[in-house]
Amino acid sequence: MRLFHPLQPPTLQHGLVNSNYRYREYFPSKSLESYIACYWTVEFNASHIDQLHRIIPDGCVDIIFDLKSPSLSKGAFATGLMTQFEVMNLSQNCSLFGIRFFIDTAHLFFTYPVSEFIGNQVFLEDIWGNDSAYLVEDILSSSRTSEIIEKIESTLLKFLLLNEAKKDDLLETSMQYMFFHKGMVSIRSLSEELSFSERHIRRRFQKEFGVSPKELVNIIRFQNLLQELYLKPQLHLSELSLKYGYYDQPHFIKSFKHLYGLSPSKLFTYDSN
C-alpha cells in the first residue's frame, strides 16, 4: 500500500466544477497500485465561458491521451515532473485520459529517464516506438473509460513483466524514505540513511528525474499537507504549517503560492485569476 496519495485542484476545489467541465480519477488494479497513482479524465464541452484547469506539482509523471486528436502520432504524449503550478485555459472541446505514474518506479514503463521530459511534451511514439500507434488507435476508438483502462492495464502489465529486473534500489529507497517521513527530511539525513554522499544522491536525482531531491522533498511535504487539509478541513492553516515544518509564515505562504498559484487562505475558493 502506498504512503503517498497526491491531489490535484479539481479534487480540492469543488467550486471549479461546472456542468461543462468534469475531472475524475480512477484507481488502478491491485497489481498496478504500487506503480500508478491513478488514471484520470478531463472532459470539457466548450460554451461561451472558458474554463481554467489548474495543475500542481504532485511528484508524478503522466502519459496523456488526447481522445479528440485527429492524428495517431500526436494522440498521446508524456509529461515530466512539475516543480510549479500551471493553469490551462480551456476554450475548445477537450477530452483527455491520463496515467499518473509514481516517480520512483516510472522507469519500469519508459524507455528513457523521465528527466528528458522536463518542460516538454514527448510523443508516445518517441518513447514506445511504432507499436504505440496501435495502442493509441485502440484507445481513441474506445467508447468507455472502463474499456480504456482495461487496454491500458494490459499494456502496462506487459511492460512490468519485461522490466522487473530494472529496479533502481537507490532511487526507490530514497523516495520511500521521503514518502514515509512525508517530505520532512533533510538531504543529509537521507544521505546517512542510504550510506551515499549527498553529492551522489543529488546527481542521481538530477540525471533520472530532472529535479533535485530538495525539490521533490518540498513537493511531497506540500502534497501531504494538502491531503491532511482535504481530509480535515477544520484544521487551521497555522497548525498545519507548523506541523509540516514551515516555522516562518511568510515563507510558507510564498512556497504555497509557488506550488499552487493561490494563497493558502484561497485554497477552497474559486479564483478566475
Contact 96, 138 (CB under 8 A): no
Domain count, the chain: 2
Residues 91 and 75 in one domain: yes
pLDDT of residue 229: 86
Residues 180 and 242 in one domain: yes
Indicate if the pLDDT at residue 266 is higher than 80.
no
Selected residue with higher pLDDT from 164 and 41: 41
Please tell me which residue, 175 or 267, carries the higher pLDDT value. 175
Residue 38 · residue 78 · CB < 8 Å: no
Rounded distance between C-alpha atoms, residue 120 and residue 200, angstroms: 26
Q: Is the pLDDT of residue 273 over 50?
A: no
So what's the pLDDT on residue 17? 60
Domain boundary among 119, 150, 165: 165
Domain membership of residue 272 (yes or no) is no
Q: Domain limits at 207?
A: 169-266
pLDDT at 16: 59
Predicted local distance difference test score (pLDDT) of residue 272? 39
Q: What end-to-end distance do the CA atoms of the chain give, in Å?
A: 38
Q: What pLDDT is attached to residue 231?
A: 87
Question: What value does the mean pLDDT take over residues 47-76?
Answer: 91
The reported pLDDT for the residue numbered 270 is 42
**What is the model's pTM?**
0.92
Same structural domain for residues 119 and 153? yes
Of 165, 191, 216, the residue that ends a domain is: 165
pLDDT digits (tens, 9 = 90+) for 110-136: 988 999 988 788 999 999 988 899 999
* Within a domain: 271: no
Quote the Cα angle for 192-194-196, to 5°: 80
- Assigned domain for 83 exists: yes
154 and 176 housed in the same domain: no
Are 178 and 109 within one domain? no
- Residue 227: per-residue pLDDT: 92
250: domain CATH number is 1.10.10.60
Q: Is the pLDDT of residue 39 over 50?
A: yes
Last residue of a domain, one of 148, 165, 182: 165
Return the axis-axis angle of helices 213-231 and 249-260, rounded to nearest 10°: 90
Summarised one tens digit per residue, pLDDT across range 218-256 is 999 999 999 998 888 777 888 888 999 988 888 899 999
